[in-house]
Structure 1
Amino acid sequence: MNSVTCLSMAGLTAVTFLWSTPALAELPEPVRAMLDAAIATGDESKVRTVAEIARTTNPTDGQEIDAILAIFEAEVAARRQAEAAEKEAKIRSASLFENWAGKGEFGAFRATGNSSNTGITAGLTMNRQGIDWRHNLTGRVDYQRANGVTTREQFLGRYEPNVNISDRFYAYALAQYERDRFQGFSGRYAISGGIGYQALKKDDIQLSLKAGPAYRITEFVDGRSESRIAGLVGIDFDWSITDRLKLTQDTNAVAETGGSAVAIIDSRNTTLDLITGLNATISSKLSARFSYAIEYDSNPPPGAVQTDTLSRVTLIYDF
């Protein structure tokens, strides 16, 4: 017997009880009308509040009120289960190009480190949520040009699919491209794969951790090229402080090992990208975001400094 059948039987039992117990006093018409009006709204909290008031003001009719409430709750549960089943069926039958959602971001930045300037920033994030699989696409551009000279030109592209192994664990893959001539490289490519863990999974707070081996190729502006084995560690933290305010913390660290265990301790180049952001909802589709990023290279190319910082103020549109 499935859960929908059980819920329907629960509602039927409540109706049978309501009509087959002659000892119950008849619920006054104004009270019944008040309950019917609350039920018509479909608002569960409102229905329970009205039912509690009715039970308090009409203590002798408590059983009848409970029976009416049981019918309503059974109908709500059955409707929710039907909606969830319909949603799952649509996800399973969708093609690869369907069920994508995204965010477009545009604003200004202030940079310090290898360049000190103010410019424009734009970003695009796309994600597709399946039953077991998730796909995430990210692109970002920071650009500034003054007096005919480009003083900031940073590009980032990332694709990360992952699949659930259990309720908490998942496997991930990652392909990433970066370009920043002012940090000393014309192209940096990384691929990685490993295991992730959803440490916190609540409505208002989420924390996930991931780690795995990686392989990275760096093409420097002076024409040199390096290929190295690496290890990746990632942290993703989101906290909805209120309905309109959300704190995010994203950290990705990549340590190039040089191929031996000793080199992991004394790595040739460790990079760290740490981004802290605060999102404020303006409307259902629009939000404002302030973020502060630290980009660290332990062994930058000659003439470059180790640490860059980037402050961004942007508007985000959900679609």
Structure 2
Amino acid sequence: MRGNHSAAFVCAALVVFGAGNALATDEDGGEDAVQWSGEVEASASATTGNTENTQLGLKAKFKRQAGRFIHVLAGNVNYAEQVAHDEEGKEFAKRTQDRWMASYQIDAQLRDRTHGYVRAQYDEDQFSGFNKRWFVGVGLGQDVIANEQVTWSVEAGPGYRWSELADTPSIPGAPRARHEFAAYADSDFNLQLRENVSVEQNANVTYADSNTTYDTAVGLKTKLTETLSSKVSYQVKYETDPPDGRENKDTMLKASLLLGF
């Protein structure tokens, strides 16, 4: 795979970091013990014959709860390449997807179902026209529904976004960076259909004057064992004003295996 090695390194570091700290959790089980939980999701596919494609996906999310504070560390990588041929008929690997993201959020419980948060996120997507993007924000969250069958939580608040745009040959002299105030909102919904089957839906939006990003995913998750699950998911990412004639919408359908603790 001739992809972005830093992307793979970041997600691998997340997996090692989360797993290592989970194993190091206090064993006394007292009230002051640090509680860790997490989930690692992996997907891969390959085709040969008339077309040769390789697709890899890795997603990790870890939570550390200490008192009324919850630390959430997350990251994901999606990479794809296909074998193409040049004018002389020689084969070469052509990247068709190279996207990764890492985020850190700390929640502070304010009331029974209300929390405040501070969030930082960094992402790269070489094919969207946004080479690099940072977002830092604060806000409030609310657990709207919380029972054994249905959970639904929402978050929202202001922030600041910095974006580095790809080269724009069609517009000479166009700015390659955007600095602007932004707003972030997130909705996380889970419905337990049966004992081992659930529907998960996450939607978030980052609003800014120059461009707004919508990212939503829905998945059907089936628990196979205490720690292993399978999931089929569909994701849509939409940019209202992508640079240099890029497409507004990206979609992804994938089947994954998940390891949780």
TM bucket normalised to smaller:
0.7 to 0.9
Deviations 1:292-314 (CA, angstroms, capped at 9, x unpaired): 11101000011201111111210
Which structure's residues are more often strand, by fraction? 2
Separation in structure 2 between the aligned mates of residue 242 and residue 157 of structure 1, nearest angstrom: 32
Q: Is residue 54–residue 82 contact of structure 2 (8 Å, CA) maintained in 1?
A: no
For 2:193, give the aligned amino acid: I
Could you tell me the percent identity over the aligned residues?
28
The alpha-carbon deviation at position 316 of structure 1 amounts to: 0.3
The alpha-carbon deviation at position 89 of structure 1 amounts to: 2.2
Q: How many residues align?
A: 212
Alignment-derived partner of residue 132 in structure 1:
68
1:182 aligned counterpart, secondary structure: coil
Q: Does 1:237 align with 2:189?
A: yes
Considering only CA atoms, is the larger Rg found in Structure 1 or Structure 2?
Answer: 1
For 1:308, give the aligned amino acid: D
**Structure 1-normalised TM-score?**
0.63
Q: Is residue 162–residue 180 contact of structure 2 (8 Å, CA) maintained in 1?
A: yes
User: Runs (4+) of structure 1 moved beyond 2 Å?
Assistant: 86-91
Deviations 1:262-312 (CA, angstroms, capped at 9, x unpaired): xxxxxx211100111111011111000111111010000112011111112
Separation in structure 1 between the aligned mates of residue 184 and residue 95 of structure 2, nearest angstrom: 32
The alpha-carbon deviation at position 315 of structure 1 amounts to: 0.1
Alignment-derived partner of residue 318 in structure 1:
260
- Counterpart mapping for 1:30-45 below 5 A: none
Alignment-derived partner of residue 102 in structure 1:
38
CA gap of 1:129–1:203, structure 2 versus 1, over 3 A, is: farther
CA gap of 1:232–1:238, structure 2 versus 1, over 3 A, is: same
The alpha-carbon deviation at position 90 of structure 1 amounts to: 3.7
Deviations 1:27-53 (CA, angstroms, capped at 9, x unpaired): xxxxxxxxxxxxxxxxxxxxxxxxxxx
CA gap of 1:198–1:126, structure 2 versus 1, over 3 A, is: same
The alpha-carbon deviation at position 109 of structure 1 amounts to: 7.4
2:115 aligned counterpart, secondary structure: strand
Q: Does 1:303 align with 2:255?
A: no
2:215 aligned counterpart, secondary structure: strand
Alignment-derived partner of residue 13 in structure 2:
none
- Counterpart mapping for 1:153-232 below 5 A: 153-222=98-167, 224-232=176-184
Separation in structure 2 between the aligned mates of residue 118 and residue 311 of structure 1, nearest angstrom: 14
Q: Is residue 45–residue 54 contact of structure 2 (8 Å, CA) maintained in 1?
A: yes
Separation in structure 1 between the aligned mates of residue 66 and residue 149 of structure 2, nearest angstrom: 21
Which structure's residues are more often helix, by fraction? 1
Q: Is residue 122–residue 142 contact of structure 1 (8 Å, CA) maintained in 2?
A: yes
For 1:199, give the aligned amino acid: V
CA gap of 1:123–1:107, structure 2 versus 1, over 3 A, is: same
Q: Is residue 192–residue 214 contact of structure 1 (8 Å, CA) maintained in 2?
A: yes
**Structure 2-normalised TM-score?**
0.77
Q: Is residue 137–residue 184 contact of structure 2 (8 Å, CA) maintained in 1?
A: yes
